[in-house]
A = this chain, B = another copy of it.
Amino acid sequence: MTSITGIYETVLYGEDLEALENFYAGVLGLRRVSGESHRSRALRVGPSQMLLLFRASETLKPHPLVPSHGSTGPGHLALSVEPGKLEAWREKLVAAGFPIEREVDWPTGARSIYVRDPAGNSTELVEGQIWPK
């Protein structure tokens, strides 16, 4: 048994942090827990997780506290939504100018919709469990 209990922080990269924050906080409703910075933004996801938005051109530079990191090219993130809410998300995303790129009905009964965030990352909203327990 491992004593690792969950994902605490996941990250996405993009150079325009304001556009990313407008999407993840303004459209998806994740709660901001940090102020503006030229380097990053921090958003809360559910009760115990964080989505960090980073400018790779900044985070690749040596930092006095934390290790450097930073990738380029489209990343991926999947967020769980409450049962029965996926249709409302589809409508909200399209109305906000984020067309649904793909939609998948999984063999497990789960359903996903995928959009591109303002940096081109593939963001998935999932209702149900795609993966076996």
Contact between chains at A132 and B33 (CB < 8 Å)? yes
Cross-interface CB contact of A131 among B6, B10, B33, cutoff 8 Å: B33
Number of copies: 2
What is the CA–CA distance of A102 and B49 in the complex, to the nearest angstrom?
22
Contact between chains at B114 and A66 (CB < 8 Å)? yes
Shortest CB-to-CB span from A120 to chain B, Å, is 9
Give chain A interface residues in 10-60, CB to chain B under 8 Å.
Answer: 10-11, 13, 28-31, 33-34, 42, 44-52, 54, 56, 59-60
Q: Which residues of A contact B (CB under 8 A)?
A: 1-11, 13, 28-31, 33-34, 42, 44-52, 54, 56, 59-60, 65-82, 85, 88-89, 101-102, 104, 114, 116, 121-122, 124-126, 130-133
